[in-house]
Copies of this chain bind each other. A is one copy, B any other.
């Protein structure tokens, strides 16, 4: 039975909060697909390829985690991976309603697939990729907010942008 789950997102970039969800999911599912969405309204800071690579490196200690990108609807992707479970992290109430809308829309489109919500560690509950990028642009040291590989690449990317 349902031993596989999909954890989709934009991950631009992956944070310690995302990583915490991945680790928790890896403990309760046999296989977890971390699935990086192509489609983002605005231009992402990191390319899909970069985002996949950073998550791969940050999750290299988790044997049952696979990272890849996907296009189109997440429910179609989940079906392709033969999984019935989509995982989403819940941090704050501001997430909550958007996640609800998404999950109910997905359920209407595909009633055989279930969205389950997991909670980040409370230390990471306030992290958001957006805020981290803003702080980094203003010169903040974001070590501890993101995996080391991300902090390194973020600095490199920003020093290039600022030249």
Question: Would you list which residues of chain A between 57 and 111 have a CB under 8 Å from chain B?
Answer: 72-73, 76, 84-85, 90, 92-94, 96-98, 100-105, 107-109
Number of A interface residues at 8 Å Cβ cutoff, please give it: 52
Q: Is the CB of A29 within 8 A of B2?
A: yes
Asked if A114 and B2 make an inter-chain contact with CB atoms under 8 angstroms apart, the answer reads no
A93 and B118 CA atoms in complex are apart in Å by 16
Count of identical protomers in the assembly: 6
The one of B84, B107, B122, B131 in contact with A125, judged by C-beta atoms closer than 8 angstroms, is: B122
Is A128 engaged at the interface, CB distance under 8 Å to the other chain?
Answer: yes
Query: When the two chains form their complex, are residues A28 and B84 in contact, meaning their CB atoms are under 8 A apart?
Result: yes
Please judge, given known A-B contacts A28-B1, A123-B122, whether A98 and B102 are in contact too, CB under 8 Å.
no
Binding site for B on A (CB under 8 A): 1-3, 24, 27-30, 39, 72-73, 76, 84-85, 90, 92-94, 96-98, 100-105, 107-109, 114-119, 122-123, 125-128, 131-132, 135, 137-141, 144-145
* A-B contacts, 10 listed (Cβ < 8 Å): A2-B28, A2-B29, A73-B138, A94-B98, A100-B119, A104-B122, A105-B132, A109-B135, A109-B141, A125-B125
